[in-house]
Amino acid sequence: MDPIDKRNRLDGQPFSYRVTKNNTVFLDYQGKQVKVLNGKEAERFLEKIKSVKDDEKEVQLILAKVTGNFKRGNERLASSKKKGNLHG
């Protein structure tokens, strides 16, 4: 099992992207636009995607990391541990 995607959420391919003529990249999560990349950031993103284009799971992982949607559910757990340590 891949330790990055333990719940296999990337198997459903929730992320997608679109590239315009001027290399602006629109990133979507479940069909809704969540981020826009342009300039150097867009160029770096497209280079990463080009290097793994044959591995859809890796493409999904890159998209998840760029959009910041890859750690959903962990935030509350981490903050509750911090609070518990302050009182203990």
Domain locations in the chain as residue ranges: 9-87
Instruction: Report the 10 Å Cβ neighbour count for 56.
Output: 12
Query: Is the CB of residue 38 less than 8 Å from the CB of residue 23?
Result: yes
Which pLDDT value is given to residue 3? 67
Looking at residue 84, its pLDDT comes to: 55
Q: Could you tell me the pTM of the whole model? A: 0.69
**Dist. CA 56–CA 13, nearest whole Å:** 8
Question: Phi first, then psi: what are they for 6, rounded to 5°?
Answer: -60, -35
Element spanning 32, H or E: strand 32-37
At residue 10 the predicted structure's pLDDT band, cuts being 50, 70 and 90, is confident
Q: Would you say 37 and 45 are in contact if contact means Cβ atoms under 8 Å apart?
A: yes
Q: What is the pLDDT of residues 41-64, one digit of tens each?
A: 999 999 999 999 889 989 998 998
